[in-house]
Amino acid sequence: MRGSEDADARDGMWLDDEAGRLVRPYTVSGGRTRPSAHFDLLTLVMATGSRPKIYLGPDHDQILDLCHANPVSVAELAAHIGQPAVITKVLISDLAEHKALITRAPHAIEAAIPTDRETLEAVLRGLRKRL
């Protein structure tokens, strides 16, 4: 349980009750804007149970915690950690290189019925508000 307490203490130094997050997204990713592997927003991410041998940062830990029990999409992870999708993809690629998680591309599903354009636009508007 000690590791969890250490992570909570480290996370606390990056947050301020009034100002919110104190670290800019490009700092979280070390200035990188391109992941080392391709991930779609619907790519599913699952923790392997193995932790990186070095400490990568609080956002990396948060991603591992979020996808520990069940696969989570890249878009969901970005929303949960409060980072842009491109930064989240960089963090995921870091963890994948350390074999701390695995990813699976989404399967294409052929629609049995045509999709209503109005419904798709409503979904898109909702996603844009969240991300």
d(CA 88, CA 35): 9
Q: What is the pLDDT of residue 58?
A: 86
Identify whether 87 is part of a domain: yes
Is residue 131 in some structural domain? Answer: no
Walking along the chain (131 residues) 10 residues at a time, the average pLDDT comes out as 47 51 61 75 92 87 92 94 89 92 81 75 89 75
User: What token pair was written down for 97?
Assistant: 């290189």
Number of domains within the chain? 1
Residue 115 resides in a domain:
no
69 in a structural domain: yes
Looking at the domain assignment, is residue 26 inside a domain?
A: yes
Domain that holds residue 15: 2-107
